[in-house]
Amino acid sequence: MTGAAALRLGVVGAGGFATFLTGALLDLPDVTVTVVADPDTDRAGRLAANLAARPVPDWRALVTADDVDVVVVATPPAGHAETTLAALRAGRHVFSEKPLATSEDEAAAIREAVAATGRVLVVDHVLRYNPVLRALARLRDPRFAATPGNRSDPLLGPVRRLAFDNDASDEDLGPEHWFWDERVSGGIFVEHGVHFFDAADALVGATPESVQGMLGQRPGTDLVDLAVATTRYPDGAVATFAHGFSHAHRCERQLMRIDFGAAEARVTGWIPVHADIDLWTDDAGAALVEHLPARADELLAVDGHRLRDPAVTVSVHRHAGPANARERGRQRQLPHHCRITLDLGGEAAKAYVYAESVRAAMHDLVRCVRTGDRPAAGITEGATAVTVAAAAARSAHEDRTVHLRRSHPTTACPS
C-alpha cells in the first residue's frame, strides 16, 4: 500500500490506550498522527510532542480539521458514539476502540451514518486480526485444505460449542475507575464482552439468534464483577462466556475451548498466543497435518501483522487409531489422531501480539480506504457485537432469554 500519501490521523483521547495505540502504529508507513485532542491539555501536549503532532483541547475541532483524514476514537466508551457520528458526518473515516457504542440505538445510528457517508469504519476488535484465531478459520476453509494433494474437505468441521472463561485482574481497576460505572463503560458485557461475542461469530460464521445473561456481585457489595452469557446460533451451535474481574495479576487465566466435533481446540490468553488442537482425521487429513510445519507462515498470516518467526511453531504428532470412528452418527474412516500446536511465543509475546493486531486493524482500514473493500472488523461486526452484548445485559437484568432480530450477516474470519 505504500506509495500513496499517508493517511493523517487525529487521535481523540491522550490516555493510556491512546499512547499504546499510537505506539503500535509508529512504523506503519501508511499513516501519520497530525492532531491529538484531550481536555487535559498537559496530557494532550505530551502525547502530541512524542508524535510530532499538534495538541487541541476540544475533539470537535479535531474532527473538522483540514489535516485529519481518519479520526481515532480512544476515549472511555460513553464518548465513542458521539465522536464517531461527528467524524463520519464531517467526512472522516473512523478507527474506533471497542465497543463501537454503549447501546443498540447508538450502534444503529452509526450504521446509518456509515451507509449515508460511504466512509470506512474499523472497530478495534483485535481478535479478528489475531494469527491464532485466523489459523483456526483457515483450518475450516476448503481452499486452504485443497493446496496439498487436492484435498477439498477442511481439516476442522463446523463449530458445535465454544466456551470462553476469563478470570481477569482488577488490580488496575480501583473503585473510582470508570470501568465500574455502567453509564460510562456500558457494563462488563458491553465494555469487555464485545471482543468475545465477535470472535465467536467469526469462528462460527454466523450471528446468534438468542442470548441468556447472568450477573454476579462481589460479596458484601453491590459491585458487579462477574458476567456470564450463553448464545445460541441458528445451526444449533452454542457458545458460553464468563468474565470475572476479581483476581490478582498473577492469578489471571483465560481459556477458550472450541468443539469442532472430531476436533477440539484449546486457546490460551485473552490475546491468544497459544493453541493446542486435537483431532481425528483420515489419511488425507493426516497428510495435510504433516505439511503444516512448512506452511506455518501461510497458516498464521494476517496482513499488517508481523510474525516473529523464531517464536512461531507448529508441531504435529500422528498416531494410528481405530478405523471405525463415528462423528455425529455418521460412519467415517477416522483412523489418525493428530495434535497441532500453534505458539506465538507464550505469555511473554502477549504485548507484542496485541500491538501487532492493532497495527493490522489500522492496516485494514488503510487498505479499505484505498480499495473500497470491506474491513474484517467493520460497521456490521462492531454493531452486531454491541447488539449481542446489550441483549446479554438486558437478559441478566430481566431474568429471561432475549431473542435477537435477524441482523446483517457478519463475516467469518477472512482466510
Query: How confident is the model over 355-403, as pLDDT tens digits?
Result: 999 999 999 999 999 999 999 999 999 999 999 999 999 999 999 999 9
**Is residue 408 over pLDDT 80?**
no
Cell numbers given for 55: 495538541
**Is residue 6 over pLDDT 90?**
yes
> Averaged over 146-154, what is the pLDDT?
67
- Confidence (pLDDT) at 87: 98
What CA–CA distance (Å, rounded) separates 133 from 414?
10
- Confidence (pLDDT) at 331: 38
What would the pLDDT profile of 93-102 be if each residue is shown by its tens digit? Answer: 999 999 999 9
Q: Which residues contact 375 (CB under 8 A, 6 or more apart)?
A: 120, 121, 122, 364, 365, 367, 368
> Averaged over 64-90, what is the pLDDT?
97
76 φ, ψ (degrees, to nearest 5): -55, 155
**Is residue 314 over pLDDT 80?**
no
Pick the more confident residue, 326 or 278.
Answer: 278
What CA–CA distance (Å, rounded) separates 242 from 237?
17
The whole-chain average pLDDT of the chain stands at: 91
What would the pLDDT profile of 217-235 be if each residue is shown by its tens digit? Answer: 999 888 899 999 999 999 9
| 122, 362 Cβ separation under 8 angstroms | yes
- Confidence (pLDDT) at 309: 64
What whole-number percentage of the chain has pLDDT above 70?
91
What would the pLDDT profile of 260-271 be if each residue is shown by its tens digit? Answer: 999 999 999 899
